[in-house]
Amino acid sequence: MLDIKQIVAKSIHNQLPDLDYQQIYENLEYPPNVDMGDVALPCFKLSKLLRKAPMQIAQELASGIPPSEFFEKVEAVSGYLNFFVNRPRFMEEVLNRIIDQHEKYGASDIGKSRNIVIDYSAPNIAKPFHVGHLRSTAIGNSLRRIFEFMGYNCIGINYLGDWGTQFGKLIVAYNLWGSRQAVEEKGINELMRLYVKFHQEAEKDPTLEDEARSWFARMENGDSQALELWQWFKDISLKEFKKVYDLMGVDFDYYTGESFYNDKTDAVVEELKQKGLLEESQGALIVNLEEYGMPPCMILKKDGSTLYATRDIAAAIHRKKEYDFHKCIYVTGASQSLHFQQWFKIIELMGYGWAKELIHVPFGIVSLGGEKLATRTGKVVLLEDILSEAIKKTLEIIESKNPDLENKEEIARYMGVGAVIFSDLHSNRIKDVSFSWDEILNFDGETGPYVQYTHARACSVIRKAGETEADKKAFNSQLLQTKEEYLLCKLLYEFPEKIELALSQLEPSIITRYLVDLAQGFNRFYHEHSILVDNQELRNARLALVRATKITLANGLKLIGLKPLERV
């Protein structure tokens, strides 16, 4: 595989063998403008080490590096050592590699034989699947795809919020103000109504909170009436959730919620006791984390019921035994960061060396008009409503622009849902998001439909070309002489680096923004230059560039959970 940074680093290392090769490699940069070079080494950091001025170092290196088949020239400018690639050679290498590797372009086997557990989405049972859950679902699904593309064996787990005092609240509300008929007819919307009503009534009658805790204690103690209602609520909720997951093209290996670990928490409590980590505090049992700069972490309430931390510790221990994970990744909101820091530290204090393999991937909060989403007050925007509205708008656009398109309802679904997912993944995940119907349904500019449309445009060019297999293999890179052609090829070359960066930073937005850049690069090339020209050699060369773009766009779209469309 061609790695121009590697070739540059070796050239420099041959001149300065006392310098660490890896350090040279990591200090190399891509200049902001290709007129300044393709790869550059800033020599300022070397100045102190070599006791020379940066300009002198750059000049001496430039004069000492021998000619190469990969570089047209090497220049020293203002303390930078700039390498200019042999463009025809570079483009031939890049385009052939992409076309040969096809759906594997950008992939790797660095994760071979390593298990990655990814815990994502995790909606709460009996509460609607709202826009706030979009982030965990989209980010987690993309990370899973990226890890799998890099050779890891991924286990996707939906850690449902299906245990806790909120179910005691729901049972109380159902018994007081609900009916089986209403729940059967209205499903999760009725459960949400009951949950909101409980909090409204509990403000007037605080004894309802005690009653809710009592019902949850009955659940934990195996009460059949309580568990029967809980299971019913859970079945109704999962049916609703799966409708949304099907729309988004998201799936999981396991739906193992908090309740799955309920019978495993006693062993955790006992182990914490044996290891001298538990303290009593006002009747509850805690782990004191003051010396680590954190508040105490409660393990058991004074009534003996468990908490999130108890179940999370039990889940992590079970997952390590079950999957022997290389990493266990939790995709949840940044507001839960302290919670994860606390119980990660407890796992470490329990003597488990794999505590360092537990990773929290936080993301910013989703607000509605500047206000935090809250199920208990009913202030939510349902994710299914957003997806349906996006599909509807997309279909309207297709009807106006291309009414004879085959399978237009299916294409509208892929584009509409893709618009919502792409919008969510376009920003850095830690950035807070204020939900806006206008923004999420705006398909102009840097959007998912724009990238999908660009992929379809490349497919259209290839269809019109009516190529033979021989045409696909034969092209003369010497004929690709324009700046737009080279810049597009350079973008294509960067795809594997972007995936590695997204993997190391656990940041899907790196792929999303790259796809916008690539689509823009292709469209500049498309508008500036005719592709299906009479000159067969030039036509074949430009078609190689189109094919490579199509392949790379498709691979990138799949990594963020979008469908590459061939016609729109």
Q: Catalytic residues, which ones?
A: 127, 130, 133
Taking CA 451 as the corner, what is the angle to CA 448 and CA 453, rounded to the nearest 5 degrees?
105
- DSSP annotation string for 113-149: T-EEEEE---PBTTS--BTHHHHHHHHHHHHHHHHHH
Please state, in angstroms and rounded to a whole number, the distance separating the CA atoms of residues 135 and 478: 46
Please state, in angstroms and rounded to a whole number, the distance separating the CA atoms of residues 477 and 297: 63
| List of E strands, 4-114 | 39-42, 71-77, 80-85
Say how far residue 356 (Cα) sits from the centre of its chain. 21
Which long-range contacts link 410-417 to residues 24+ away (Cβ below 8 Å)? Answer: 411/565, 411/567, 411/568, 413/247, 414/452, 414/562, 414/563, 414/565, 415/443, 415/448, 415/449, 415/452, 415/565, 415/568, 416/387, 416/390, 416/391, 416/392, 417/247, 417/248, 417/249, 417/387, 417/390, 417/391
Which residues make Cβ contacts (< 8 Å) with residue 386, sequence separation at least 6?
A: 131, 134, 420, 440
Q: Strands 115-119 and 80-85, how do they pair?
A: unpaired
Is there a contact between 345 and 289 (Cβ–Cβ < 8 Å)? Answer: yes
**What angle separates helix 408-426 from helix 383-401, to the nearest 10 degrees?**
120
Q: How far apart are the first and last CA of the chain?
A: 34
Q: Longest Cα pair distance anywhere in the chain, in angstroms?
A: 86
Token look-up 């940069």 returns 29
Instruction: Give the tokens for residue 487.
Output: 């810049």
Say how far residue 394 (Cα) sits from the centre of its chain. 24
